Amino acid sequence: MSTRAKILAAVAVLGVLVILLSQGEAPSSRVQALRDDPMAGYAPSGGTLVDTESRNEGRSLGKPVPATYTRLFRLDADPGRALEEASAAATAAGWKPLGQATGSTFVGSKSIPSGRAVLTLALVEDGNLLPEGVDPPALSVGLRHLGG
């Protein structure tokens, strides 16, 4: 076996190990804090859950990476109304708007017992930004834990 083939095999094995180890990882306390927020369970009317992603905090290239919890919904109803309703639900759940909401986004901040969190509600109307098989429009509900 050539040196190049050995290197490629080692990289492939390492990649599989990383994937296997990351799949079985239990949610950290920060991810759990995000999942405990009412907006983590929010579902827009006329929306169908198509994807959920959770990532523990950590480091990448020496820089901190925050814990995140994101859910994606395909919308069968008016997307503008869906965002308005989601923004109202966020405000009712204690999220304070950061800046001016637009017709396609809402960003809010909230203090939670384990630190500070940010919520991003975003309409996604470009099919290239959605998982394969998901047609726009979609609503992304993303929470990030920024630490204490």
pLDDT, tens digit, 9 for 90 and up, residues 73-109 = 999 989 999 999 999 999 999 999 998 878 899 999 9
Write down the pLDDT at residue 62: 87
Place of tokens 């804090």: 33
Write down the pLDDT at residue 17: 37
User: Which among 74, 49, 57, 48 has a CA at the least distance from the CA of 129?
Assistant: 74
Q: Which two tokens stand for residue 145?
A: 């834990």
Helix, strand, coil percentages, rounded to 5, for the chain: 35, 35, 30
What global pTM score does this model have? Answer: 0.80
Write down the pLDDT at residue 19: 42
Cα→Cα distances 51→20, 54, 74, 88, 103, Å: 20, 10, 9, 23, 23
Write down the pLDDT at residue 102: 84
114 vs 43: CA distance, rounded Å? 24
- Residue 93 phi/psi, 5° resolution? -85, 5
User: Which among 138, 130, 88 has a CA at the least distance from the CA of 108?
Assistant: 88
Write down the pLDDT at residue 6: 43
Amino acid in position 86: A
The number of CA neighbours under 13 Å toward the Cβ of 65 is 11
Q: Which residues in the chain show pLDDT less than 50?
A: 5-6, 8-23
